[in-house]
Homo-oligomer: A and B are copies of this chain.
Amino acid sequence: MTSHEASDLSSYEEHVLEQDTLRLWLRLLSCTTLIENQVSSRLRGEFETTLPRFDLMAQLARSPEGISMSELSQRLMVSGGNITGITDNLERDGLVERTTLPGDRRAKLVHLTPKGRIVFDQMAKVHATWIKNWMGQLTELEQHQLYLLLGKLKRHVSASLEE
Protein backbone atom coordinates (compact mmCIF):
# COMPACT_ATOMS: atom_id res chain seq x y z
CA MET A 1 0.00 0.00 0.00
CA THR A 2 1.41 3.40 -0.95
CA SER A 3 1.29 6.26 1.53
CA HIS A 4 -1.29 7.89 -0.72
CA GLU A 5 -3.64 4.90 -0.34
CA ALA A 6 -3.10 4.82 3.42
CA SER A 7 -4.08 8.45 3.73
CA ASP A 8 -7.19 7.86 1.59
CA LEU A 9 -8.21 5.00 3.85
CA SER A 10 -7.71 6.94 7.03
CA SER A 11 -9.63 9.94 5.72
CA TYR A 12 -12.42 7.54 4.73
CA GLU A 13 -12.43 6.11 8.27
CA GLU A 14 -12.46 9.64 9.66
CA HIS A 15 -15.47 10.40 7.50
CA VAL A 16 -17.37 7.30 8.73
CA LEU A 17 -16.56 8.21 12.34
CA GLU A 18 -17.85 11.74 11.76
CA GLN A 19 -21.06 10.47 10.19
CA ASP A 20 -21.64 8.08 13.13
CA THR A 21 -21.08 10.73 15.79
CA LEU A 22 -23.23 13.19 13.85
CA ARG A 23 -26.03 10.62 13.69
CA LEU A 24 -25.68 10.07 17.43
CA TRP A 25 -25.87 13.81 18.11
CA LEU A 26 -28.92 14.21 15.84
CA ARG A 27 -30.66 11.37 17.66
CA LEU A 28 -29.83 12.89 21.07
CA LEU A 29 -31.20 16.22 19.84
CA SER A 30 -34.36 14.86 18.26
CA CYS A 31 -35.16 12.63 21.25
CA THR A 32 -34.84 15.60 23.63
CA THR A 33 -36.80 17.91 21.32
CA LEU A 34 -39.58 15.34 20.93
CA ILE A 35 -40.07 15.11 24.70
CA GLU A 36 -39.63 18.85 25.24
CA ASN A 37 -42.24 19.73 22.59
CA GLN A 38 -44.61 17.23 24.13
CA VAL A 39 -44.12 18.66 27.64
CA SER A 40 -44.57 22.14 26.22
CA SER A 41 -47.82 21.30 24.45
CA ARG A 42 -49.24 19.50 27.50
CA LEU A 43 -48.33 22.37 29.86
CA ARG A 44 -50.19 24.67 27.50
CA GLY A 45 -53.18 22.35 27.16
CA GLU A 46 -53.56 21.32 30.79
CA PHE A 47 -52.24 24.35 32.70
CA GLU A 48 -52.35 27.20 30.19
CA THR A 49 -48.69 27.90 30.84
CA THR A 50 -45.45 27.74 28.88
CA LEU A 51 -42.30 25.66 29.28
CA PRO A 52 -40.10 28.71 30.09
CA ARG A 53 -42.55 29.72 32.86
CA PHE A 54 -42.58 26.17 34.23
CA ASP A 55 -38.76 25.93 34.11
CA LEU A 56 -38.35 29.26 35.88
CA MET A 57 -40.81 28.27 38.61
CA ALA A 58 -39.00 24.91 38.98
CA GLN A 59 -35.75 26.78 39.72
CA LEU A 60 -37.48 28.96 42.31
CA ALA A 61 -39.14 25.91 43.90
CA ARG A 62 -35.69 24.42 44.47
CA SER A 63 -34.44 27.61 46.19
CA PRO A 64 -37.04 28.79 48.75
CA GLU A 65 -34.54 31.42 49.97
CA GLY A 66 -34.83 33.20 46.60
CA ILE A 67 -32.52 33.61 43.61
CA SER A 68 -31.01 36.71 42.03
CA MET A 69 -31.91 37.47 38.41
CA SER A 70 -28.36 36.80 37.22
CA GLU A 71 -28.26 33.42 38.97
CA LEU A 72 -31.62 32.58 37.38
CA SER A 73 -30.27 33.44 33.92
CA GLN A 74 -27.27 31.19 34.45
CA ARG A 75 -29.32 28.26 35.66
CA LEU A 76 -31.81 28.56 32.81
CA MET A 77 -29.09 29.06 30.21
CA VAL A 78 -31.04 31.74 28.35
CA SER A 79 -30.62 35.47 27.88
CA GLY A 80 -31.32 37.96 30.69
CA GLY A 81 -33.96 39.79 28.66
CA ASN A 82 -36.16 36.72 28.41
CA ILE A 83 -35.86 35.95 32.12
CA THR A 84 -36.93 39.48 33.02
CA GLY A 85 -39.99 39.26 30.76
CA ILE A 86 -41.06 35.88 32.13
CA THR A 87 -40.52 37.03 35.73
CA ASP A 88 -42.59 40.20 35.13
CA ASN A 89 -45.30 38.03 33.71
CA LEU A 90 -45.32 35.60 36.65
CA GLU A 91 -45.23 38.51 39.10
CA ARG A 92 -48.30 40.04 37.44
CA ASP A 93 -50.08 36.70 37.92
CA GLY A 94 -49.13 36.72 41.62
CA LEU A 95 -47.01 33.57 41.29
CA VAL A 96 -43.57 35.06 42.06
CA GLU A 97 -42.32 38.18 43.83
CA ARG A 98 -39.14 40.20 43.92
CA THR A 99 -37.88 41.22 47.36
CA THR A 100 -35.08 43.59 48.28
CA LEU A 101 -32.36 42.51 50.67
CA PRO A 102 -32.19 44.75 53.75
CA GLY A 103 -29.14 46.99 53.39
CA ASP A 104 -28.73 46.48 49.63
CA ARG A 105 -31.58 47.87 47.59
CA ARG A 106 -30.02 46.82 44.29
CA ALA A 107 -29.82 43.10 45.10
CA LYS A 108 -33.29 41.78 44.42
CA LEU A 109 -34.20 38.17 45.02
CA VAL A 110 -37.00 36.37 43.20
CA HIS A 111 -39.05 33.68 44.90
CA LEU A 112 -42.36 31.88 44.61
CA THR A 113 -45.35 33.35 46.43
CA PRO A 114 -47.44 30.91 48.53
CA LYS A 115 -49.90 30.84 45.60
CA GLY A 116 -47.03 30.20 43.19
CA ARG A 117 -45.84 27.28 45.33
CA ILE A 118 -49.29 25.66 45.27
CA VAL A 119 -49.68 26.16 41.51
CA PHE A 120 -46.17 24.84 40.82
CA ASP A 121 -46.57 21.77 43.05
CA GLN A 122 -49.74 20.82 41.19
CA MET A 123 -48.06 21.14 37.80
CA ALA A 124 -44.87 19.39 38.95
CA LYS A 125 -46.84 16.38 40.15
CA VAL A 126 -48.52 15.90 36.79
CA HIS A 127 -45.30 16.69 34.89
CA ALA A 128 -43.50 13.94 36.86
CA THR A 129 -46.10 11.37 35.79
CA TRP A 130 -45.64 12.30 32.10
CA ILE A 131 -41.87 11.85 32.40
CA LYS A 132 -42.23 8.60 34.34
CA ASN A 133 -44.53 7.19 31.67
CA TRP A 134 -42.05 7.99 28.89
CA MET A 135 -38.81 7.06 30.66
CA GLY A 136 -40.47 4.05 32.27
CA GLN A 137 -40.68 2.45 28.82
CA LEU A 138 -37.00 1.62 29.26
CA THR A 139 -36.14 -1.13 31.76
CA GLU A 140 -34.51 -0.02 35.01
CA LEU A 141 -31.17 -1.31 33.74
CA GLU A 142 -31.53 0.64 30.50
CA GLN A 143 -32.47 3.80 32.42
CA HIS A 144 -29.39 3.33 34.56
CA GLN A 145 -27.14 2.79 31.52
CA LEU A 146 -28.56 5.84 29.78
CA TYR A 147 -28.07 7.92 32.94
CA LEU A 148 -24.40 6.86 33.20
CA LEU A 149 -23.65 7.36 29.49
CA LEU A 150 -25.17 10.85 29.45
CA GLY A 151 -23.25 11.67 32.65
CA LYS A 152 -19.99 10.63 31.02
CA LEU A 153 -20.75 12.61 27.87
CA LYS A 154 -21.70 15.70 29.89
CA ARG A 155 -18.53 15.53 31.98
CA HIS A 156 -16.35 15.17 28.90
CA VAL A 157 -18.01 18.05 27.04
CA SER A 158 -17.78 20.29 30.12
CA ALA A 159 -14.12 19.36 30.61
CA SER A 160 -13.32 20.10 26.95
CA LEU A 161 -14.79 23.59 27.36
CA GLU A 162 -12.44 24.38 30.22
CA GLU A 163 -9.30 23.45 28.28
Contacts and interface: CB of A to CB of B under 8 A. Distances in A.
Given A22-B132, A134-B156, 19 more contacts: A18-B128, A18-B129, A18-B132, A20-B143, A21-B143, A24-B135, A25-B134, A25-B135, A29-B36, A34-B158, A38-B157, A137-B156, A137-B157, A138-B156, A142-B152, A145-B149, A146-B150, A146-B153, A149-B149
Interface in A85-101: none
Nearest to A134: B157
Contact of A143 (B24, B36, B38, B132): B24
Interface of A: 17-18, 20-25, 27-38, 77, 128-129, 131-138, 142-143, 145-147, 149-154, 156-158, 160-161
Contacts of A35: 25, 28, 157
